[in-house]
């Protein structure tokens, strides 16, 4: 049988996903601007491994902290159709979905990907 709240739930899932995507893209660009650029050593023609690993760890820590704050922020954003046809926005499990934010935060980190390439493949950007 068709539940009257089902279309509202689907709209709520799309709403939460859109909020995650917008905030994660904005924060990802912000993190990418904060992390310093790759500095190539003239003698070895690569970035020092200790600096490279340290900045990768710093970048991953920043991503983790930002994903936590994004999740907490999205939980507090109200849904305009809460209570319509007995739909309870507070019970929506997708509000806590940190996977979307984490994936986008990791995917759009250009300096992080360049450092992984440099460290693992010895490939300069």
Please give the mean pLDDT across all residues of the chain.
84
Q: Where are the alpha helices (DSSP H) in the chain?
A: 6-34, 49-76, 99-107, 110-116
49-76 vs 99-107: helix crossing angle, rounded to 10: 140
**For the chain, which residues make up each domain, given as ranges?**
6-121
The DSSP output letter for 80 is T
- pTM to 2 decimal places: 0.80
- The per-residue pLDDT for range 51-104, each reduced to its tens digit, is 888 999 999 999 999 989 988 888 888 888 877 887 787 777 777 777 888 888
Question: What does the CA dihedral 104, 106, 112, 117 come to, rounded to 10 degrees?
Answer: -100
């Amino acid at each position: 049988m068709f539940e009257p709240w089902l279309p509202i739930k689907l709209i709520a899932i799309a709403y939460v996903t859109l909020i995650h995507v917008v905030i994660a893209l904005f924060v990802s660009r912000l993190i990418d601007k904060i992390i310093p650029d790759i500095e190539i050593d003239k003698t070895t023609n690569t970035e020092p491994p200790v600096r490279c690993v340290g900045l990768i760890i710093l970048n991953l820590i920043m991503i983790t902290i930002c994903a936590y704050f994004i999740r907490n922020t999205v939980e507090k954003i109200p849904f305009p159709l809460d209570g319509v046809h007995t739909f309870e926005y507070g019970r929506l499990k997708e509000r806590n979905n940190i996977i979307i934010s984490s994936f986008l935060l990791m995917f759009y980190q250009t300096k992080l990907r360049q450092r992984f390439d440099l460290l693992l493949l010895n490939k300069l950007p």
